[in-house]
Each structure stands twice: as C-alpha cells, then as structure tokens.
Amino acid sequence: MKSPVVKRSIVVAGHKTSVSLEEAFWNGMKEISGLRNMTLSELVGEIDSNRQQGNLSSAIRLFVLDYFRTRAIPAAAVAQEAPRPQA
C-alpha cells in the first residue's frame, strides 16, 4: 500500500531540507503561495520563522488548516445570513 505522505526537498532560508506532507497539504501550500505571489520556498520559510515549537511538517499542516479554516468562517456566516426560500 502506497503511503499518502509525500516527501519533497525544499530550500528554506538558503538551506536544503526535506518535508513530508500529505498531497492535500502540498496542494494547499501551492494554492496559498500562488495567492500570495510567493514561491513555495518563501512561504515555507515564513512558516518556519514564525513557528513556536514542533517540527516543520507539523507547523505547515497547522498553517494550512488555519488558513482554510479562517477562509471558511466568513463563507459559513454569509450562508447562514442568506434569506431562505419560503415554502
């Protein structure tokens, strides 16, 4: 059985490192970096410099989760406020 975790090499702050993430998190990182007009390495460097503890892979997962959760909250609020059709 193939592991859902994908290991990739990336340069962070001038140093090459390996990061293991599920494909969904890599896709999320690509989307976020594209929206911010950053390279994937720049975004990982930002996450790395702001993490308080834990390993880099965990910090990335938490960052991606927080990013999409923050985007989902306003969308959910708008959906709740939308007028409902009356029967």
Taking only the tens place, the pLDDT of each residue in 39-73 is: 999 999 999 999 988 899 999 999 999 999 998 87
Confirm if 43 and 36 have CB atoms less than 8 A apart.
Answer: yes
Instruction: Judge whether residue 3 has pLDDT over 90.
Output: no
Q: Where are the beta strands (DSSP E) in the chain?
A: 5-12, 15-22
86 falls within a domain: no
Q: What is the domain extent for residue 35?
A: 5-81
Q: Report the CATH number at residue 41.
A: 1.10.3990.20
Residue 5, phi then psi, degrees to nearest 5: -90, 135
- Which of helix, strand or coil describes residue 20? strand
62 falls within a domain: yes
| Predicted TM-score of the model (pTM) | 0.80
Q: What is the tally of structural domains in the chain?
A: 1
